[in-house]
Amino acid sequence: MASLYSFFIVMLVFPALIIIIVDSLFLADVRNERIRVAQASGADDSLISKLGSRPAWVNWARSLAPWLLLILIVRACIVEPFSIPSSSMSPKLQIGDQIVVSKFAYGVREPIFQRVLLETNTPQRGDVAVFRNPEHPSIDYIKRVIGLPGDVVMYQNKMLSIIPACLKAEPCPAIIRVEQTARKDTMIDSDGSEMLLFDETLNGVEYVIARTPSKVDNSLDYFSQRNTEVERFVVPVDHYFMMGDNRDNSRDSRFFGFVEKSTLIGKPLAIALSIEGNPENSWYQKSINVERVGAIQ
């Protein structure tokens, strides 16, 4: 799916470039010929300068095009800002966090349709990744990578286990049982529910998850996969299984299924700004929390 922002920038850049090309190939020669004729007739310097000047719309195109190209390249191919819209990745990422996403983390893409031009890295278990929502491709989601292609992901009684893909490997990798270590501190979710916090480690990545005791697993609403038990997910080729750190308050692969590799957008680098306060309040009632600014794990 095309990026509307990138498409808008291209629609500005394209006519500006056309103007610059037409001016360089044709209009410049017309101006030079007028100057030659004026000089031959003994015209004064002010008239010659006026005849040699570019039209305002050409100057506008020459001034604007380089900046538009720079914005297009940076935002479409290098980094892009992203605003956290929900509490699904609490406690690490919270509503109001403004993050910077690396667009080339999983491949260099062309700016309009985001097709991969050059493969770079592939997602690893424990990564936080931004991707297009399989249910609503116009919406970007951010979750943690849990299952890789070929993995079997099991989520039972709010505990996570992974049977890694075994591709002709002898012996096959052992099952990964993701342990949870309770923390003393708690949090209150955006809906007022108390959340218990636990430390998890996956693929060497340490992070904190939240569980809400008052909420039970909604396994009947889980994504249904043919010939597979409920709470068990077999990740297809070129797909990934994503989950939010706020386990009982996240719509993720448990519900909408797997995320295609082609829909990956990038990997968050850092929290650039964190704005706290009720979204319904005006700006002056909000505050900036500088303590949350920093790298994302």
Catalytic residues: 88, 143
Amino acid at 258: F
**Phi, psi angle pair for 225, to nearest 5°:** -115, 130
H helix count then E strand count, the chain = 5, 18
How long, in residues, is the chain? 297
Contact 243, 80 (CB under 8 A): no
**Helix, strand, coil shares of the chain as percentages rounded to 5?**
30, 30, 40
> What residues have CB less than 8 Å from 195, skipping those under 6 apart?
90, 91, 186, 187, 188, 189, 210, 211, 212, 246, 248
Q: Is 261 exposed, middle or buried (0-12, 13-18, 19+ CB in 10 A)?
A: middle
- Give the H or E element holding residue 183: strand 181-188
Q: How far apart are CA 209 and CA 182, in angstroms?
A: 10
The answer to whether the peptide bond before residue 91 is cis (omega within 30 degrees of 0) is: yes
**Which has the closest alpha carbon to 242: 138, 131, 161?**
131
Tell me the two tokens of residue 220: 């009947």
Tokens in use for 204? 């060497």
Q: CA 42 to CA 170: how far, in whole Å?
A: 90
